[in-house]
Structure 1
Amino acid sequence: MIQKNAHLPNIDRWRQWKEFGLLEAKQSLIESYLPLVEYVSNRLSVGLPKNVSKDDLSSYGIMGLIDAIEKFDYKRGLQFETYASWRIRGAIIDGLRQGDWVPRSVREKSKKIEEAYQKLEQQYLRSVTDSEISAYLQVSEAEFQQMVQEIAVTTVCSIDDPIREEDSETRLSLLVDEKAKNPEYKVNEFYLKETLSKAIERLTEKERTVVSLFYYEELSLSEIAEVMNLSPSRISQLHSKAILRLRGSLGRFKTQLFQES
């Protein structure tokens, strides 16, 4: 029966699954969208510790894909790939968090640097330098660079996380998506766009380039390293600093922007 469904257009398989509950159609949909799991897990695997296996990432991702297929409303005319991608990503991240793969000390360092960027850039109204951050944290620049390298694995895709569980939109997508939004979200999204735009303006030129190539052009960090003629570890550092700056800028608007309606 799966073989029979495999040639059907996706809309027909969605109809068979959603309206008639045919498990063969659901299985066929899962199989047809499995490449999404591989794509998302490969991107999330960049910079992760070696003890995190790709098989584990794929397993978490498949659970996210199944969840997406069960909850997706095909009649709304939305793109399933976008919806499923963040569901898959979320399932992988949840699985990693449950496994406690990032030491608490690394999370604490990430939080301290994020708060430092938030406070200093709010104070100076510009992009702060590594030396200014180091002085604020009372560490040497070499120690600061080491801290950034240690927390690099915690920042991958954080700007790709959805704003709310019910939404398929991410923080970054709001900068480029010109489609009309629901009226109740327009004010919050306007301020979010303004905040993100200003935060991105404060990134250094190299940080902006990394963010653009990773999130807009969807290159891997190793591919970005080749384009920019820098080492992968340097690209990882630039990515981490960019995300920490952006999260710091968004942090003070969190209550205003992300409160439940």
Structure 2
Amino acid sequence: MIRDNLPLIELVVQRMVSQVPSFMTKDDMTSAAMIGLTDAAKRFDSSKGVKFKTFAEYRMRGAILDEMRKLDWFSRTMREKQNQLTQTMLGLERRLGRSPNEEEMAQAMNITLDEYQSILSQVSHLGCVSLHETLDHSEEGRNFLDALEDIGGPTPTDIIEQEELTYLLAEILEELSEKERLVIALYYYEELTQKEIAEVISVSEGRVSQLHSQALLKLRVKLLNSDVMD
């Protein structure tokens, strides 16, 4: 399985290279991805109904992000900025009854639009969360990878909750701007890099990063408001 899927390493690294800090080299990423692929081969269970390629890609991404964490890239300052963005958008969303635009966010934070967009660029990498990071940020909590694994199959309640989440996400996507929706679609469904997306929608690569951050911020706030993350 490892030998047959070695080309996945280059694919994953190429997709993530624009998402990592400058001090993390492609060699660092490749080494981490190889560890992730090896780990995937050891842990893969075909009875779970998940393709090995899909499972391996998640493991490789998680390994790369874990390596970034070891390099102390997730700084407290960046986390504080992300929390400030989240709390500001939460307040505006509840007051306005809709997702605020960039100008409204900047005004609420008493900064210029350029400064707001700069913060979006700075925290864009925080949207990449390791699959091993717990949902409640505790040591014992359930992580994102646990949510992907089919342990004994879904219960009826699980199925209903998943359907509700699907409808909610569809509603959230409808509230995104046209460019935000396009960035999300091209990035997560077409699997284009940020550079490729920039060429498709005729904006700078930095602007793609900002639109991506804004879309993820709206998604997080909507989920918080709906109590889905409780």
Is TM-score (shorter-chain normalized) higher than 0.5?
yes
Tell me, yes or no, if the aligned pair for 1:86 and 1:168 is still in contact at 8 Å: no
**1:250 is matched with which residue?**
223
Work out which of the two has the higher radius of gyration on C-alpha atoms and give 1 or 2. Answer: 1
How much does 1:77 deviate? 4.5
Residues in 2 aligned to 1:199 and 1:119: alpha-carbon distance in whole angstroms: 17
Aligned pairs, number = 217
How much does 1:232 deviate? 0.9
Structure 2 counterpart of 1:155, from 127, 130, 133: 127
Give the unaligned 5+ runs of structure 2. Answer: 136-142
Larger mean Cα displacement after TM superposition, 35-44 or 215-224:
35-44
TM-score by length of structure 1 reads 0.74
Structure 2 counterpart of 1:222, from 171, 187, 195: 195
Deviations 1:191-222 (A, max 9, x none): 21132122212211110011011111111111
Structure 2 counterpart of 1:78, from 50, 59, 63: 50
How much does 1:125 deviate? 2.7
Matched, 1:145 2:145: no
Give the unaligned 5+ runs of structure 1. Answer: 1-28, 170-179, 257-261
**Structure 1 vs Structure 2 CA RMSD:** 2.5
**1:34 is matched with which residue?**
6
Matched, 1:165 2:145: yes
Please state whether the residue corresponding to 2:18 is helix, strand or coil: coil
Matches within 5 A, 1:1-261: 29-156=1-128, 164-168=144-148, 182-252=155-225, 253-256=227-230
How much does 1:75 deviate? 4.1
The aligned amino acid for 2:197 is: I
Larger mean Cα displacement after TM superposition, 150-159 or 234-243:
150-159
Please state whether the residue corresponding to 2:103 is helix, strand or coil: helix
| Deviant stretches of 4+, over 4 Å | 156-159
Tell me, yes or no, if the aligned pair for 2:198 and 2:204 is still in contact at 8 Å: yes
The aligned amino acid for 1:154 is: L
